[in-house]
Amino acid sequence: MIYFTLLAKDSTTAARAGRLATPHGEVQTPAFMPVGTQGSVKAMLPAELRALGAEILLANTYHLSLRPGAPLVRRAGGLHAFMGWDGPILTDSGGYQVFSLAALRRIDDEGVRFRSHLDGAEHHLTPEAAVEIQEDLGADIAMVLDECPPFPASREEVAQAVARTLRWSERCARRAGRADQALFGIVQGGVHLDLREESVAGTVRLDFPGFAIGGVSVGEPRALQRKIVAHVAPLLPADRPRYLMGVGFPEDILEAIASGIDLFDCVVPTRHGRNGSVFTREGLINIRNAIHAEDFRPFEPDCPCPACAGFTRAYVRHLVLAKEITGVRLCTIHNLHFYLSLLAGAREAIAAGRFGPFHDAFLARFGRPHAADPGAGTGEA
Amino acid sequence: MIYFTLLAKDSTTAARAGRLATPHGEVQTPAFMPVGTQGSVKAMLPAELRALGAEILLANTYHLSLRPGAPLVRRAGGLHAFMGWDGPILTDSGGYQVFSLAALRRIDDEGVRFRSHLDGAEHHLTPEAAVEIQEDLGADIAMVLDECPPFPASREEVAQAVARTLRWSERCARRAGRADQALFGIVQGGVHLDLREESVAGTVRLDFPGFAIGGVSVGEPRALQRKIVAHVAPLLPADRPRYLMGVGFPEDILEAIASGIDLFDCVVPTRHGRNGSVFTREGLINIRNAIHAEDFRPFEPDCPCPACAGFTRAYVRHLVLAKEITGVRLCTIHNLHFYLSLLAGAREAIAAGRFGPFHDAFLARFGRPHAADPGAGTGEA
């Protein structure tokens, strides 16, 4: 299964550094998981992800179960063999994408009925099926099926989702049988702190080896998201890894690390990269802008990533405007490097007990986000 | 400029092996030039091309002069610096794409007027402009502006194109002024061997450091193309490199090598790769086919390319069907490896005096093409 070891705690924040041992190797935390939606981190090969410092990937059960299908992945030897990544993998339960992508959803206590966004075929996702599919995929970490209400939702809807998620979590835990796979619980509760507390209490009682905060990055204002994370994280067992699902922008991740979160995933670096939006220490730039047309410097002069080491903003702008795949690749490589090296810097800072100053110095250059903006979404279409 | 050294001649065919020294390094011939249409070999980075054994790339003047524009490339330090490829580059004159892609072409002795396929802007490409643009791009080898009639065309049209190409070639040679750039002449003449001879005589008289056979791969049957190449190649000076423009499929390339051709370019490996068509020693396969759905072998079991070393047909099929860029990348990598290693094998066979058996053994496995089929086209949209 997994073993989580706390290695360091920051001096002035709740940030913590640790090591997560899995059947496919170790992950230094806090860690960012690049998203391999359909069994491939878009435009990247596994060896390139490894070279950028990625230690764990996320893959989406909804997408993989519709195509190529979980039984095929099992016959391929599991997701690690299928996609050629021998490091740790986490799969989500598929629930989030059912709610955000599929048509004709009908949810009851038994599970969710939906139609595939690919061919309209009807499927029934139950807690037991979510576990079975994830066992076929064979990731190191699987997630319980949860009900994730949108924002805004009525308090009653959120309370019902909390209760249903707890019932589903128990059914998932009962069905889970792979000795080499850890099943994480998920806390729901929307923006209601008392419902969050209720969800934490019930989920912790089920004694999962790791806990996720779900139901964030669903459209709520950034300030509310931060309040939820800061409230919920310290309620979770200190000796288990904490995963904040689908968050987010760099500033959101640093803030959540300060609250004691260990694991992150988000499509922002890859999706933004495909659109020519590039992260720099001075903030986001859009490489399509005319200002970069004759800028013969790299994205960032001191960046050691393969994109910055070999190519200029002018060239990448040309490639992106000309719709060349190579342009997408260079932006994606740099953005993933930006995220992964940001997390590496955070780990170092925590170990040195100076995460607070690290966080402030980053924001001073990068710019502070607006508290009212919604955070980044988790789903990749 | 360039220096061409003949290193070996085959014992039973007209195949020859040589070395082409350029300002940016040496090229072992016969050589295949991957096509970097817009300053990027689609989906590939320069270091990856180098690792696959590519020694020289081709870039398209038409595309680059429209976007980002030749003056910008000059200010970037030339095409080598702009695209991050420090090896030899050949640029075409832009004429071929004007004829195949642009709208509202009006051709007279002065040059070609056309509208950009990007924004409709009117441009006037003269022989002098073709040289100036290519000098801005700064490739190691530039091509004269030629008139390339389609197939079929009347004998009169072809004769006129031969005469005009000769006049334009002379004007190009007169204008060319870069000491670090070689200008190659182009032989036209369609399927008329006497017009081909006339074109050879006039072009050779201009004493170019290299000669190309143009006006092939424009829709003519494969058997005619081969007849032309076999007739024209031995008429060209033995001490200069011979370049067959836009050809072609593996079997066409081997046939042309047997006739004494040294340089090739074609979009087939990259374009086919993007469509999921993959070259194997047993012939082309389409990875989308259901037969590959659970085939957990690589494209070719004994292939050392990064695609075959790490990934199965089943996985690549999934990626291609899911429209993942990584699928395009894996097919492209393998196809370029297939072409580049085929040429490496040809060079070895020539050096050993056994190109004939090498050629026959390849065809016995790969399958013989139909003589009536048209060959591969040269243009990349």
Instruction: Return the bridge partners of B32, or none.
Output: B264
To test the contact with chain B by mutation, choose from A35, A37, A38 the residue with the greatest count of B C-beta atoms within 10 A, namely A38
- Above 90 in pLDDT, residue A241? yes
Rg (CA), chain B: 20
pLDDT score at B381: 37
Which chain A residue is nearest to residue B86, measuring alpha carbons?
A310
pLDDT score at B378: 44
Give me the residue from B45, B322, B327 closest to A67, CB to CB.
Answer: B322
Question: H-helix or E-strand containing B222?
Answer: helix B222-232
Q: What is the mean pLDDT of chain A?
A: 95
pLDDT score at A378: 44
For residues A124-150, average pLDDT:
97
To test the contact with chain A by mutation, choose from B324, B330, B334, B336 the residue with the greatest count of A C-beta atoms within 10 A, namely B324
Residue B204's φ and ψ, nearest 5 degrees, are -65, -35
Which chain B residue is nearest to residue A330, measuring alpha carbons?
B45
Chain B residues with beta carbon closer than 8 angstroms to that of A312: 76, 82
Cβ <8 Å between A43 and B76: no
For residues A279-293, average pLDDT:
97
Q: How far apart are CA B39 and CA A318, in angstroms?
A: 9
pLDDT range class, residue A368, cuts 50, 70, 90? confident
Q: Which residues of A are catalytic?
A: 92, 265
Residue A76 near chain B (CB below 8 Å): yes
Chain A residues with beta carbon closer than 8 angstroms to that of B324: 38, 40, 42
CATH H-level, domain B3-266: superfamily: Queuine tRNA-ribosyltransferase-like (3.20.20.105)
For residues A163-189, average pLDDT:
98
Q: Spell out the CATH class of A3-265.
A: alpha beta
Domain limits of chain B? 3-266, 273-366
- Nearest by Cα to A244 from A83, A15, A61, A49: A15
A308 near A298, Cβ under 8 Å? yes
**Interstrand relation of A3-9 and B283-286 (parallel, antiparallel or unpaired):** unpaired
pLDDT score at A67: 97
Q: Among A47-51, A148-152, A189-193, B154-158, name the one with the lowest average pLDDT.
A: A148-152
pLDDT score at B370: 61
pLDDT range class, residue A380, cuts 50, 70, 90? very low
pLDDT score at B380: 42
pLDDT range class, residue A374, cuts 50, 70, 90? low
SS3 content of chain A, % helix, strand, coil (to 5): 40, 20, 40
Query: For the whole prediction, is pTM greater than 0.95?
Result: yes
Count of CB pairs separated by less than 8 Å, A with B: 113
pLDDT range class, residue A272, cuts 50, 70, 90? very high
For residues A54-66, average pLDDT:
97
The answer for residues whose C-beta is within 8 angstroms of residue B202's C-beta and 6 or more apart is B162, B166, B169
B:78-97 residues touching chain A, CB 8 A cutoff: 82-84
Residue B76 near chain A (CB below 8 Å): yes
For residues A57-66, average pLDDT:
97
Give me the residue from B84, B312, B326 closest to A311, CB to CB.
Answer: B84
Cβ <8 Å between B310 and A45: yes
Under DSSP, the state recorded for B251 is: H
pLDDT score at B102: 83
To test the contact with chain A by mutation, choose from B49, B325, B334, B336 the residue with the greatest count of A C-beta atoms within 10 A, namely B325
Give me the residue from A84, A293, A322 closest to B311, CB to CB.
Answer: A84
pLDDT score at A1: 85
B185 near B115, Cβ under 8 Å? no
Q: How far apart are CA A307 and CA A313, in angstroms?
A: 10
To test the contact with chain A by mutation, choose from B41, B50, B326 the residue with the greatest count of A C-beta atoms within 10 A, namely B326
For residues A11-39, average pLDDT:
98
Tokens 């086209």 locate to: B377
- Above 80 in pLDDT, residue A35? yes
Amino acid sitting at position B31: A
Report ipTM for this prediction. 0.96
**Which regions of chain B are under pLDDT 70?**
369-381
Print burial letters for B189-208: b (CB count within 10 Å at least 16), e (below 16).
Answer: bbbbeebbebbbebbbebeb
Q: Which residues of B are catalytic?
A: 92, 265
A:251-310 residues touching chain B, CB 8 A cutoff: 293-294, 296, 306, 310
pLDDT range class, residue A373, cuts 50, 70, 90? low
CA distance A40 to chain B (A): 7
- Above 80 in pLDDT, residue A66? yes
Cα B140–Cα B146–Cα B151 angle in degrees, nearest 5: 125
Which chain B residue is nearest to residue A332, measuring alpha carbons?
B325
Q: Which tens digit of pLDDT belongs to each residue from A301-357?
A: 999 999 999 999 999 999 999 999 999 999 999 999 999 999 999 999 999 999 999
B:28-67 residues touching chain A, CB 8 A cutoff: 38-47, 63, 67
- Above 80 in pLDDT, residue A375? no
B80 near B24, Cβ under 8 Å? yes
pLDDT above 70 covers a percentage of chain A that reads 97
Chain A residues with beta carbon closer than 8 angstroms to that of B322: 38, 40, 63, 67
For residues A186-197, average pLDDT:
98
B273 near B41, Cβ under 8 Å? no
pLDDT score at B101: 86
Rg (CA), chain A: 20
Cβ <8 Å between A294 and B72: yes
For residues A151-177, average pLDDT:
97
pLDDT range class, residue A372, cuts 50, 70, 90? low
Q: How far apart are CA A35 and CA A59, in angstroms?
A: 6
Print burial letters for A353-379: b (CB count within 10 Å at least 16), e (below 16).
Answer: ebbeebbeebeeebeebeeeeebbbbb
CA distance A82 to chain B (A): 6
